Structure 1
Amino acid sequence: MEKINILIVDDRPENIIALEALLERADVNLISTTLPNEALRLAWEMDIAIALVDVQMPEMDGFELVEILKSNPRTKNILVIFVTAISTDAKYAVKGLNAGAVDYLYKPLNPYVTSAKVDSFIQFVRTQRDIVKKNKELESYQKELIKAKDQAEQGRKIKENFLANMSHEIRTPINGIIGITNLLEKTDLTADQREMIELLEISSNSLLGVINDILDLSKIEAGKFRINRAATDLVMTCHAVINLLRIRAKEKNLELITAYDEDLPKTILADSLRLNQILMNLIGNAIKFTSTGSVTLKVEIAGRRDKQVQLKFSVTDTGIGIPKSKINRIFETFEQADDNTTLNFGGTGLGLSIVKNLAQLKGGELTVSSEENKGSEFCFSNWYEVLENLPENQKRAPEKLAAFENVKILVAEDNPINKFLIVKVLKGWNIEADVVENGKEALDKLAENDYDIVLMDTFMPVMNGLEATKLIREGHIEGKKDIPVITFSAAVMDNDKKAAKEAGADDVLSKPFELGVLHEKIQQYTGKKPIGG
């Protein structure tokens, strides 16, 4: 234990000897002097915690000594106890306390009282020093936390930039595939061709789901993920997943079986996209890890209450199974049951992690049982509200969107497939379109011609869409400061949309976008209704 320094100041050596005998103990250092000036030097040079000061001394009395100590920042926190043999008149005690003392003792000293008081002050000093020490430690921890927070923030920004760039690079070609599929769907097709186009559309959306999985995981970790519930045809949702994965099952000669409870409700209130994701991942995994036999999707009612029903979705396979020691590991991000899994079967190790997170966000429960070399069963259970008396969902032919009249649009897009698609779509709506490949060319074209609206891609060479939009809003092109600008990008992070708005964009569309949404935006921002609209 650190020793406490106690200074004794008295002009009579016999008094010092008496006090030293009274206060001597293992946890204190006693320092004494008969000279007030010497006391000042000692207080300055040593870490004095407590000082017992005689009032009456030659050269300088105790009151003057204490006033000097208290006026110096280095010695002002010393706890001073006055010791005096002069009158016990209260005015002297008041004077001493006003000078900064914490107590006033009268000679002859009561040894028990004096010892007890000094003990209490020693304890007070130790407590105060512990507080100071803890505060310094807290300050140090705070600095470390601030540093760690800054590093985490930097890491988050790097991650978001990576995800945004990856999203753009992957979504751009997918946007082309989906766009061409939409154009083909509007042409005259045979029944077989239409079926193939539908499968191509489902496959494209499934491919889009891969990047969405990664983005969803990022949003879940950031607490920005939302569940959007709407009327959902339960059996149709299950059929859509099965039909998409049936081809993969046939390639491996696997039987893909469905078993539905006879009393299943037709329509429930659910987030169909997230339910689709859960089933896609569970059934897709089962097919991936099954070489012979079958994969079964079973949907049954596990409970009822009022207008709600508890549904249990079970996916059972006859695959390789999972060792008991590895079951918990499969739900971790980028983890798989075995180090050779990716080599032998492929995959990112994201699927089950996302299923687990989605199940928790939806308020459901995900369980697994498995036996090595015999197969696995994954079960997802959740409560859903049953919706009744809703009209039958029927697949409608693609709606033909009405043409516009006297609408001219400037398109800034560098990807040749996307350029072809958007021009084809705009011409189909009787819209005149000029196309440029970067933001600088867009500014030059805007200076030469009048347009009703600008469709600006975000990521472009030479000058990106955000820079060009900002220059337009700053009046770089005379008379065009307020022209409507819609940016579109394959990056879908919240920060990307925020950046576009801050640059001055009137609206933001994420690729791939629905044609109906683009048609509506053009009508909204040009103020021109389509013919017959």
Structure 2
Amino acid sequence: MSKINLLIVDDKQENIIALEALLNRNDINIITTTSPNDALRICWEKEIAIALVDVQMPEMNGFELVEILKNNSRTQDILVIFVTAISTEPKYAIKGLTAGAVDYLYKPLDPYITSAKVDSFIQLVKTQIEIKTKNLQLEKIQADLIKAKEEAEQGKRAKENFMANMSHEIRTPINGIIGLVHLLKRGALSEEQNEIVNLLDVSSTSLLGVINDILDLSKIEAGKYSINFAETDIKDLATKAANLLNIKAIEKNIALKLLIDERVPQFIMADSLRLNQIFMNLLSNAVKFTNEGEVVFKVEILEEKINNAFLKFSIIDTGIGISQENIETIFHSFEQVENVHTRVYGGTGLGLSIVKKLAELKGGELDVKSELGKGSTFSFSKWYNVIEKEEKIKVNKASEQLAPLNGLKVLVAEDNSINVFLIVKILNDWKVQTTVVTNGAAALEALEKENFDLVLMDTYMPVMNGLEAIKKIRNGHIPGKEKTPIISFSAGVLDHDKENAKEVGADDIIGKPFKIDVLHEKISALTKR
């Protein structure tokens, strides 16, 4: 810490010399003057911390000098000690303290008392300086934290916007590919053509799965992933997951066994979508990394309480296994165990990262045990609320052909030519009359000229996007058309994409890629067909 400036103001030089000798020390810088006016200049120009001021002086007495100092914001914090030879009566002390002094020294000066008092005030000044320094540091840290928080929030918003745009830009063409494959499958194909179309179907679905993994991970990290509990047939959910992966197991000539403890309840409260994601990821990995032997999917009950069950789901394989030092690595995003066995299997390295995060979000626990060359066991356990009811009898009905929507007039606002072809083909099959535009502004023009029973509006389009167009329609931009039913098409999967569409006035939202029966159901509901 630098030296503290101490000012001595006394009209007699001998008093100044005596005080200087008494107060001479390394941590203070003594400045002296015999003139009160000169003292004001010094206090203004230099950072004076403590001032020893004589009360009786010819030009200006000490009380007047201190009053001027205390009325100036630049000098008001100086600690003033009066040095006086006048009476020690209380009225003089009160007058000095009222003027702004902090203490009195009486002449003749006692060297010990003088030194002790000045020393205590020097310590006080040092503490004040330290507090000011700390406050400045804290203010800087606070400013840096606020700036970092703003940058982080800006980065988060930029990331979310990027994810929404990327989701739309990538999922839109994939939607087109999957839709076209669906249309091709309905036609008469040779055996070779059918094989090509099936490969195209598998490839496009696989690509969609990779994109969904990336988007899911981004949503989890952004805190946008919600868990929704509902009545779930857990036995049926596990059976369907095992049946789906059994196809791949048969292709690899390995067995996939499902073992469900008979004590496991039929119905529980769970997020079936997220639970299915965990099952599918773990089963898919087990089948992928097992070349001989078997994969066992085990569902068991470990503990029971009133209306509660502690369930454990285990996927056990006889695959390549994982070494102990690599077990933690497998849960890192975009990372895989680097060895000669696993490089050939490919993948994004996202599956297990998502499973772990989903397990934690659901309030469960993911455990892994593995031995290199002998296999792995991944297990997930959690308490679930049990729903006591008779098992529902399921009747599998053949899917009925979707009913035509004769005479329905639909405006399609979509800028992707493949999606336009796909949507128009589907709607025409339902006997729907379609008008196609490629942006929101053109949709407004078309709606102004004609009456439509419904509008299918893509979210992201050039010139004017779908959200702007919906908002204008709902705000009466085209009189009489404010209540036209609108379904918003979006390839975005972030929650705020759906919220934004609902906020501007969309009656319903359908994602890309979409299921044809879902589109039919939504159109039928909104047009009361």
**TM class by shorter-chain length?**
0.7 to 0.9
Aligned-partner Cα distance in 1 for 2:450–2:144: 57
Structure 1 letter corresponding to 2:496: N
Aligned-partner Cα distance in 2 for 1:187–1:239: 32
State the Cα distance separating 1:298 from its structure 2 match: 2.0
SS at match of 1:505: coil
Aligned-partner Cα distance in 1 for 2:343–2:138: 48
Q: Quote the residue 2:238 is aligned against.
A: 238
Question: Please, what TM-score do these two structures have when normalized by structure 2?
Answer: 0.87
Structure 1 letter corresponding to 2:92: Y
Trace 1:242-261 onto structure 2 (pairs within 5 A): 242-261=242-261
Structure 2 letter corresponding to 1:510: G
State the Cα distance separating 1:71 from its structure 2 match: 3.0
Aligned-partner Cα distance in 2 for 1:474–1:287: 54
Aligned-partner Cα distance in 2 for 1:275–1:85: 90
Structure 1 letter corresponding to 2:69: L
State the Cα distance separating 1:324 from its structure 2 match: 1.6
State the Cα distance separating 1:81 from its structure 2 match: 1.2
Structure 2 letter corresponding to 1:468: A
Alignment partner of 1:90 is 2:81: no
Q: Does the 8 A contact of 1:199 with 1:244 survive in 2?
A: no
Aligned-partner Cα distance in 2 for 1:181–1:261: 40
SS at match of 1:395: coil
SS at match of 1:227: coil
Structure 1 letter corresponding to 2:384: Y
Q: Quote the residue 2:465 is aligned against.
A: 464
Aligned-partner Cα distance in 1 for 2:278–2:503: 36
SS at match of 1:134: helix
1:56-95, Cα deviation, whole Å (9 max, x unpaired): 1121211222222223332221111111111223333233
Structure 1 letter corresponding to 2:121: F
State the Cα distance separating 1:424 from its structure 2 match: 4.7
Q: Quote the residue 2:75 is aligned against.
A: 75
Structure 2 letter corresponding to 1:64: E
1:191-233, Cα deviation, whole Å (9 max, x unpaired): xxxxxx9999999877654433333322222223222222322
Trace 1:272-351 onto structure 2 (pairs within 5 A): 272-338=272-338, 343-351=343-351
Q: Does the 8 A contact of 2:409 with 2:432 survive in 1?
A: yes
Q: Does the 8 A contact of 1:203 with 1:244 survive in 2?
A: no
Q: Does the 8 A contact of 2:224 with 2:495 survive in 1?
A: no
Q: Quote the residue 1:120 is aligned against.
A: 120
1:243-280, Cα deviation, whole Å (9 max, x unpaired): 22223233333332333323332332222211111111
State the Cα distance separating 1:381 from its structure 2 match: 1.1
Structure 1 letter corresponding to 2:31: I
Structure 2 letter corresponding to 1:453: L
Aligned-partner Cα distance in 2 for 1:258–1:220: 30
Structure 2 letter corresponding to 1:217: L
Aligned-partner Cα distance in 1 for 2:202–2:62: 94
Structure 1 letter corresponding to 2:293: G
Structure 2 letter corresponding to 1:362: K
Q: Quote the residue 2:191 is aligned against.
A: none
State the Cα distance separating 1:241 from its structure 2 match: 1.8
Structure 1 residues 386, 505: closer, same or farther in 2, change over 3 A?
A: closer
Q: After superposing the two structures, state which structure 1 stretch, 257-266 or 126-135, moved more.
A: 257-266
Aligned-partner Cα distance in 2 for 1:268–1:453: 39
Aligned-partner Cα distance in 1 for 2:250–2:518: 37
SS at match of 2:93: helix
Structure 1 residues 118, 339: closer, same or farther in 2, change over 3 A?
A: farther
Q: After superposing the two structures, state which structure 1 stretch, 103-112 or 383-392, moved more.
A: 103-112
Q: Quote the residue 1:62 is aligned against.
A: 62
Trace 1:192-271 onto structure 2 (pairs within 5 A): 208-271=208-271
CA RMSD of aligned residues (A): 3.3
Q: Quote the residue 1:483 is aligned against.
A: 484
Structure 1 residues 516, 320: closer, same or farther in 2, change over 3 A?
A: closer
Aligned-partner Cα distance in 1 for 2:317–2:221: 30
Structure 1 residues 371, 244: closer, same or farther in 2, change over 3 A?
A: same
Aligned-partner Cα distance in 2 for 1:278–1:169: 27
Q: After superposing the two structures, state which structure 1 stretch, 147-156 or 268-277, moved more.
A: 147-156
Q: After superposing the two structures, state which structure 1 stretch, 430-439 or 417-426, moved more.
A: 417-426
Aligned-partner Cα distance in 2 for 1:398–1:139: 67
Structure 1 letter corresponding to 2:44: W
Structure 2 letter corresponding to 1:222: A
Structure 1: tracts of 5 or more residues without a match: 189-196
SS at match of 1:256: strand
State the Cα distance separating 1:406 from its structure 2 match: 5.7
SS at match of 2:386: strand
Aligned-partner Cα distance in 2 for 1:111–1:450: 102
Structure 2: tracts of 5 or more residues without a match: 189-196
State the Cα distance separating 1:168 from its structure 2 match: 2.0
Structure 2 letter corresponding to 1:48: I
1:263-318, Cα deviation, whole Å (9 max, x unpaired): 33233222221111111111212222233333222222222222222222222222
Q: After superposing the two structures, state which structure 1 stretch, 18-27 or 393-402, moved more.
A: 393-402
Q: Does the 8 A contact of 2:316 with 2:378 survive in 1?
A: yes
Q: Quote the residue 1:192 is aligned against.
A: none
State the Cα distance separating 1:492 from its structure 2 match: 1.9
SS at match of 1:118: helix
Alignment partner of 1:500 is 2:501: yes
Aligned-partner Cα distance in 1 for 2:314–2:506: 46
Aligned-partner Cα distance in 2 for 1:362–1:310: 14
Structure 1 residues 462, 60: closer, same or farther in 2, change over 3 A?
A: closer
Structure 1 letter corresponding to 2:511: S
Trace 1:142-161 onto structure 2 (pairs within 5 A): 142-161=142-161
Structure 1 letter corresponding to 2:435: D
Structure 1 residues 23, 69: closer, same or farther in 2, change over 3 A?
A: same
State the Cα distance separating 1:132 from its structure 2 match: 1.4
State the Cα distance separating 1:49 from its structure 2 match: 0.7
Q: Quote the residue 1:409 is aligned against.
A: 410
SS at match of 2:311: strand
SS at match of 2:264: coil
Aligned-partner Cα distance in 1 for 2:66–2:372: 83
State the Cα distance separating 1:461 from its structure 2 match: 4.1
Aligned-partner Cα distance in 2 for 1:132–1:30: 23
Aligned-partner Cα distance in 2 for 1:264–1:504: 45
Question: Please, what TM-score do these two structures have when normalized by structure 1?
Answer: 0.86
Structure 2 letter corresponding to 1:121: F
Q: Quote the residue 1:447 is aligned against.
A: 448
Q: How many pairs are equivalent?
A: 520
Structure 1 residues 314, 506: closer, same or farther in 2, change over 3 A?
A: closer
Structure 1 residues 74, 342: closer, same or farther in 2, change over 3 A?
A: farther
Structure 1 residues 446, 73: closer, same or farther in 2, change over 3 A?
A: same
Aligned-partner Cα distance in 1 for 2:475–2:304: 60
Aligned-partner Cα distance in 2 for 1:340–1:142: 50
Aligned-partner Cα distance in 2 for 1:267–1:93: 87
Structure 1 residues 213, 479: closer, same or farther in 2, change over 3 A?
A: same
SS at match of 1:97: helix
SS at match of 1:224: coil
Q: Quote the residue 1:193 is aligned against.
A: none
Q: After superposing the two structures, state which structure 1 stretch, 403-412 or 8-17, moved more.
A: 403-412
Q: Quote the residue 2:132 is aligned against.
A: 132
Alignment partner of 1:393 is 2:394: yes
Aligned-partner Cα distance in 2 for 1:412–1:443: 10
Aligned-partner Cα distance in 2 for 1:312–1:150: 43
State the Cα distance separating 1:126 from its structure 2 match: 1.8
Q: Percent identity?
A: 63
Structure 1 residues 340, 110: closer, same or farther in 2, change over 3 A?
A: farther
Q: Does the 8 A contact of 1:185 with 1:398 survive in 2?
A: no
Aligned-partner Cα distance in 1 for 2:61–2:306: 89
Structure 1 letter corresponding to 2:42: L
